[in-house]
Amino acid sequence: MSKIKSNFFIYLFVLTPLLLNGQTYTSHTIQQDGLKVRLSEGFLNIQPIHGKAVRIQWTKDLTEEEREFVLVNQQPVPPFNCSETTSLLKLVTNDYSVLFDKKTSTLSFLDKKGKIILNEALNSRKLSSNTVHSEPCYIAEQGFESKPDEYLFGLGQFQDGHYNLKNLSRKLIQVNSQIALPFLYSSKGYGILWHQYGLSWFNPADSIIKLNKESYTNSREREVTSTSGTQKVSQQQTLYKGKFHLESDGEYTFMLDLGDMDNRHLLVIDGQPIIDQSNLWLPPAVSAKVKLKEGTHQVQVVCKSTNTPSLHWRKAGNVTTFRSPNAKSLDYVVFLGEDADDIISTYRDLSGKVPMLPKWAFGYWQCRERYTSSSHLVETVKEFRKRKLPLDVIVQDWQYWGKYGWGVPKFDEANYPNPSQFIKELHDLNAKFSISVWENLDKKSSVAKDYEGLYIKDSPWIDIYNPQTQKVHWNALNQNLFKHGVDSWWMDATEPENDALKDKNTYFGQGEFYRLTYPLFVSKAVYEGQRATNPDKRVTILTRSAFPGQQRYGTINWSGDIGWDWDTYKRQIVAGLNFSLTGMPYWTTDIGGFFRPVASQYHDQKYHDILMRWFQWGVFCPIFRMHGYQSETEPWKYGGKVEAEMRELLNLRYRLLPYIYSLAGDVNRNNTTIMRPMVMDFKGDENAIKQPYQYMFGPAILVAPVVKPEIEEWKVYLPEGSLWFDFWTNKIQKGGREVMADASKNKIPLFIKSGSIIPLGPVMQYSSEKSNEALTLDIYRGSNGFFELYEDEGDNYNYEKERYTVIPISWDEKKRLLTIGKRVGTFQGSIEKRAFNIRIVGLDGEIVEQKVIYEGNPLSLKI
């Protein structure tokens, strides 16, 4: 075997071509940035772009203008070697290897121990000719082998309710309540970024079922079976019927695509409802997996009468496929690492670090649809303060623009006569102000005159890809809102709404090529605009959509205009967990649902049950926020019992702020993740990995939200390898088994991992109220533990100049020794001398308490 070292020389090897699906290996060259393989059709580039990531690109005849939206942080090419045999090419770095099979033209990816982690599937790499509006392009497709016991996560935020994505079909587009992020994480220890900016399909289902529209008159409605029994199809809906034949028993995936957003997803197979969702807004496409026997099967589909459904199926197998119909090349990145944190860290190294959000962003956000005046906002905050209900942010939803026209970022003086004054009043009440802004402002408004020529042609949406549009848009937000004291941006409908780039031409070209990326550029415009205007105020953006790399712009996402029932609530949990595995750490929902039972919500005990379970879960989401359509969402609107229970939970959230803010510091400094699906910390425990409704909140707290009505006890799986303390009772449980947790009396099941160290603060009414008071350190025995307490100035960018402090805290179980290490760093206002109330939770549930004074130097405490 001859060995070729990577250097500035280029070597060329030519072998007899081997035929394979038009991808015959011809030759290869070793270049400074990787291995370039000449195929009979184009070139396959294998580029080590990071010590733990490799980019694969297959290019043919079409040239693409270099526009890199995601991998913006170019890293030094890691050292690599290449070698060759008669059948293989091998590229080796310190952390991984890539094999190219000359006979099959497939790639394999190996870890640093030489174990194969991922294989391309045979004959699955494809670039087929296509066009979009007469512009040539390709249908890019790549398949990967998937082991039978593999779990797949990520792809963003979807409303289909699926946790494990293996063998599931998905249509990756941006619409209200759905965020398409083409990043996949595997329980086998790899990540894939499908590096395309347009519509993509995950596991595309290609077998079509012909659907026949049923005709009926007003006097004869059709009946169908649903999960709630037999229902009649309304005149606003249409029933379709069809049949299909299967050659064998097995598991099959069905993709129902209605074309546009809908309010009804109903798929019935052989009289059994397979998909059944209703809401005022639902994404256009939804899928489900079902086991079926060989033979002929009957289907029924119900959707809005204005939509035309298509129904496809595919048999489940052990190949995972990505397909993009509007591509200029095939392009993907494979990440290999020790665990999910390692892979996400590499991904952020390449696509952008997560900036610190201000400390107040981790307090409570009060939102409703909507506050109607400046006095309404101020009086609401005063009532929160009067009732001792902690709050940090109050949010102004839409229509504050009044006479100025739809979406115009300007206060109508009739209801908001002095913006600077009322925002100052809010600030004087120690509350921050967030406001809803849109990118489809009324073209006839005076503000829109500056946008002339900057809208997408034949569209209400501004062309945010144009750098000039970005500047004009920020200037409008600054002059009309930010200069008055606005603290945070609620960027609504940033998909843009209803997949609006399709069939449009943008600054970059055909919208089909950039269909998923609009929210990235909206966030960029606001982040860069605000930082240039006021470099001392942290940018905080709540936005409805996202694209890979957006985490670098100070964004939080929420799950859109969802419903309020138990099924919807459950679907938000798995949506948030999969979203977190795409490298986006900050996420939230409309607690209680956006669309609610409007009139009955204030007194209906059944609604209060789900509202409080949702509120309990909200305490343990990265961002804690209430919202509701045509609703008064303030706690006291639901009666004294609900208000008291919400107060207890608000107090718990605020006591946890030192822990949560330290986790945020770790996100920024070490690329970690706060909301952690079980695969992140317990990848060796399959029973843990498959839990869809529980997760770790930071390294210490296992959260198991209750997702059924009228529950007193809740089953929780405790991962093996640890002891677990019930948060509420301190009772200790062994891991590796299910336990029944008390879920009564406003309790969400919470378990603390042995060895955990959790800093707690006092009860506060806002995040900065008692920042100088003593902290409590809860130490849970049973294992060694470590935690870093992070603090900074709270709302500026001085942390980027290393103006922050870190206090390392460790617990030695064998020695029963707590060590508070030397404080590292300093910042203006840092506490030089402070008290720590130490609480050691023993294996018998007993608590030993001691108070210590800490002045920045190491101290140890023997228990």
Cα–Cα distance, 183 to 203 (Å, whole number):
14
Q: Which of 540, 577, 549, 568 is nearest to 707 (CA)?
A: 568
Q: What is the distance between the terminal CA atoms of the chain, rounded to a whole angstrom? A: 62
**Cα torsion through 356, 358, 363, 365, rounded to 10:** -110
Q: Which of 190, 21, 1, 192 is nearest to 89 (CA)?
A: 1
Question: Half-sphere exposure of 156 toward its Cβ, with a 13 Å CA cutoff?
Answer: 30
Cα–Cα distance, 413 to 839 (Å, whole number):
54
Q: Which of 131, 170, 121 is nearest to 575 (CA)?
A: 170
> Residue 82: which residues within 8 A CB-CB, separation 6 or more?
3, 4, 5, 6, 30, 35, 89, 90, 91, 92
How far are the Cα atoms of 6, 52, 92, 210 from residue 96, in angstroms, in the given order?
A: 16, 7, 6, 47
Set 145, 349, 439, 492: catalytic member: 492
Which residue type sits at 149? D
Phi first, then psi, for residue 741 (nearest 5°) are -105, 145
Specify whether the CB–CB gap between 288 and 161 falls below 8 A.
no
Helical residues (DSSP H) of 363-414, grouped into ranges: 374-386
Is 260 tagged catalytic?
A: no
Cα–Cα distance, 154 to 177 (Å, whole number):
15
> Residue 479: which residues within 8 A CB-CB, separation 6 or more?
none
Specify whether the CB–CB gap between 738 and 718 falls below 8 A.
yes
How far are the Cα atoms of 149, 155, 169, 445, 539 from residue 166, in angstroms, in the given order?
A: 9, 12, 9, 49, 37
Pairing of strands 817-820, 805-812: antiparallel
Cα–Cα distance, 221 to 564 (Å, whole number):
28
Give DSSP secondary structure letters for 765-804.
SSTTTTTTS-EEEEEE-SS-EEEEEEE--SSSSGGGGT--
- What is the DSSP code (8-state) at residue 146? -
The position carrying tokens 């008692």 is 770
The position carrying tokens 């129904």 is 311
Sign of CA dihedral 103, 109, 112, 117: negative
Is 561 tagged catalytic?
A: yes
Specify whether the CB–CB gap between 396 and 433 falls below 8 A.
yes
Cα–Cα distance, 770 to 833 (Å, whole number):
15
Is 276 tagged catalytic?
A: no
Specify whether the CB–CB gap between 148 and 188 falls below 8 A.
no
Q: Which of 437, 515, 442, 509 is nearest to 477 (CA)?
A: 437
Set 84, 101, 561, 681: catalytic member: 561
Q: Which of 714, 672, 728 is nearest to 696 (CA)?
A: 672
Set 145, 439, 495, 685: catalytic member: 495
Q: Nearest-5° angle of CA 181, CA 187, CA 191?
A: 40
SS3 345: helix
- Active centre residues (catalytic): 492, 495, 561
